[in-house]
Amino acid sequence: MSKRIDAIDFNVYYSKFLAVEGVNISIEPKSVTAFIGPSGCGKTTFLRTLNRMHEVIPGARVEGKLLLDGDDIYAPGVDPVSVRSTIGMVFQRPNPFPTMSIRENVLAGIRLNGQRISKGDADTIVEKSLRGANLWNEVKDRLEKPGSGLSGGQQQRLCIARTIAVEPDVILMDEPCSALDPISTLAIEDLINEMKDQYTVVIVTHNMQQAARVSDKTAFFNIAGTGKPGKLIEYAETSTIFSTPREKATEDYVSGRFG
Amino acid sequence: MTQVLQENRENIGKSKLIQGRKPRWTWIACLAGSLIVASAIMAVVGFNVAGWAVLTALFYVVSNYAVTRIMENGRKATDQLWTNLVVGAFLVALLPLISVVWTVLSIGLPGLLAPGFLASDMTGITGAVDQASVEDGTAILGGVKHALIGSLVMTLGATAISVPIGLLTSIYLVEYSRGGTFSRAITFFVDVMTGIPSIVAGLFAAGLMLTLVGPGDNVMGFTAVIALSVLMIPVVVRSTEEMLRVVPNELREASYALGVRKWRTILKVVIPTAISGIASGVTLAIARVIGETAPILVTAGVAVSTNWNLAKDWMMSLPVYIYRQMMFPTAPAAPDASEQRAWAAALVLIIIVMLLNLTARFIAKAFAPKKTGR
Ligand SMILES: Nc1ncnc2c1ncn2[C@@H]1O[C@H](COP(=O)(O)OP(=O)(O)OP(=O)(O)O)[C@@H](O)[C@H]1O
Ligand SMILES: [Mg+2]
């Protein structure tokens, strides 16, 4: 399963501060979309609104519509918890649960929700998710060891495994490779390429090459100055963004002439 | 080339980096010198241990400073001086602890080892009995069983009340309140409660129970439990709140992002991550109230027989037992028996508190999030 996302005239606030303004974007199912843009332009902020993680912050709110396969996830009465179980998220910093073993970390989404599953099913899910995250071979002999004992890159892939274990329709990734070495980065990029067959993937990245390598479409966000809201400047096929962008700002940014 | 190597080899051991340093044994020499000088002065003015120790310390600090200043430089000497002062302050701080433990241990041990001290209460131990055993030199009868059981039951009761209330309050403060007036009021009153004198807590509990159940029914043990809870709740709230606040937000967000509800996140992610700190905080709070005397004296009162029932009759506790035995000896003509029992009870109390502290450490270790090296 995989779902499309449409944002319509979407504004994002931190209390009074308008952080992202007027976003209109359509993200296709079974595609990889990259968000690029300078620091502080609201990529993380916007990404977190896509699964209603934004409102966890006190005072944070949004305006406008955000449609998941046509249904507004911000409509009154929508349960943010069910939105989040449909739209998974991988954070910039790996954050495995320190009290849990590797195996428990993978099963966290199921166990924490109080679902009971047989040991056989659990084993299947653990292996499938860890294989999906390209981590199985490295950890299969130490599944009962604490998840925080892994290297940073392994931890990040563990977090990805944890996210795909609950079988979401959409996966959001906020700079998943920013703390990783080139080899782990490659592993995660391969993974993103494979995930495209099943999920809608949205990834924030500061790495142009990475955006070019993994994404089908790219969204460029920019900010006019400090204190001003971030805006979606251009959204198009990745090849277009990197070769013949419509906007001057986009061209400057992707060619490295920015600031 | 080989020449240089040769030279370097020869210079090993007389490194230029450690030139001009005083030898390692300087401090021993300083200490020995100070001891001798102090002893000499003491011999002149008349010996006493305290004066001798203080003089030795004084001479040591001064001589060490002077020697370092002469042999090295002013900066090193200042460093040495402050190191000595800090170590000295630490030793002074340690002194009361060692002294208390030593005194209680040496005086209380015979009483504790007396047969049946832990297994018998004071029923039937009258002044005549005590006087007889002191005069005949036989083993002193009577024990601490009722006080031990009273203390444990009452503290357990207070824990059973305070921990849920304290835990839920701190969960509300950390996880649910968004810094509004209500939560600030709670924090303020918790702080005020921390400062309540314990006798006031006792009087409050007594007054409360008097209005609730009237003077006819005597639910002494339970009244004491309430008094102790009043003292314990703020401590539990404070320490738990501290522990919940240090749980990284990232973990909460990771859990929410998996579609886990807030209360499940708190129950299964936040509390398990903080449990070691919470448990040791609670244990220390228990250790704190188990030694309370005043609030128990004005609520549970005194008793000579074992009472397990919180809802009926007077109840003894260890601190009150110690106080009573010291101030009002069973046999005023032969107070030795009571004193021995009081010291032994004090030893029991100290042992309990130390065990609680050890338990706290053990719990903190056992529950701490597992971290193996990267
Ligand atoms: N919790 C918050 N409260 C208030 N303002 C915030 C908060 N988080 C972010 N902001 C503000 O929102 C704006 C967008 O921040 P955001 O984190 O989305 O940027 P970003 O594009 O992800 O940057 P980076 O590339 O550095 O990660 C910034 O001006 C930032 O200061
Ligand atoms: Mg960001």
Chain A: nearest CA to B50, how far in angstroms?
A: 52
Asked if residue A143 has its Cβ within 6 Å of ligand 1, the reply is no
Could you report the predicted ipTM of this complex, rounded to two decimals?
Answer: 0.92
Query: B139: number of CA atoms within 13 Å, CB side?
Result: 11
The domain locations on chain A are 5-97+170-254
Write the burial class of residue A77 (CB in 10 Å: 0-12 exposed, 13-18 middle, 19+ buried): exposed
pLDDT, mean of residues A168-178: 91
Q: Which residue of B has its CA nearest to A173?
A: B257
Mutate to test the pocket of ligand 1, among A10, A11, A14, A55 (most ligand atoms within 8 A of CB): A14
Q: Which residue of B has its CA nearest to A102?
A: B370
Instruction: Show the low-confidence residues of chain B (pLDDT under 50).
Output: 372-374
Which pLDDT score, from 0 to 100, does residue B374 have?
A: 40
Q: Are A220 and A34 in contact (CB under 8 A)?
A: no
Distance between CA atoms of residues A139 and B28, nearest Å: 55
Contacts of B370 in chain A (CB under 8 A): 98-99, 146, 148-149
Which pLDDT score, from 0 to 100, does residue B373 have?
A: 40
Asked if residue A41 has its Cβ within 6 Å of ligand 1, the reply is yes
Distance between CA atoms of residues B274 and B34, nearest Å: 50
More confident: A3 or B229: B229
Residue nearest atom 16 in ligand 1 by C-alpha distance: A42
Check CB contact under 8 Å for B259 and A163.
no
Query: Given 3.30.470.20, 3.40.640.10, 3.40.50.300, 2.60.40.1120, which CATH number is that of A5-97+170-254?
Result: 3.40.50.300
Select the residue of B253, B261, B264 nearest A91 (Cβ to Cβ). Answer: B253
pLDDT digits (tens, 9 = 90+) for B4-42: 666 666 666 566 676 677 788 888 888 999 999 988 988
Q: Which ligand lies nearest the alpha carbon of A229?
A: 1
Task: Give start and end residues of each alpha helix (H) in chain A.
Answer: 43-49, 80-86, 102-111, 119-132, 136-139, 152-165, 182-195, 208-214, 238-243, 248-254
Contacts of B251 in chain A (CB under 8 A): 95, 97-98
pLDDT digits (tens, 9 = 90+) for A48-75: 999 999 999 988 999 999 999 999 999 9
What is the pTM assigned to this prediction?
Answer: 0.82
pLDDT digits (tens, 9 = 90+) for B344-368: 999 999 999 999 989 888 888 887 7
Domains of chain B: 2-111 (no CATH), 145-366 (1.10.3720.10)
Asked if residue A147 has its Cβ within 6 Å of ligand 1, the reply is no
3-state secondary structure of A18: strand
Chain B: nearest CA to A93, how far in angstroms?
A: 9
Asked if residue A229 has its Cβ within 6 Å of ligand 1, the reply is no
Residue nearest atom 4 in ligand 1 by C-alpha distance: A14
Q: Are B57 and B81 in contact (CB under 8 A)?
A: no
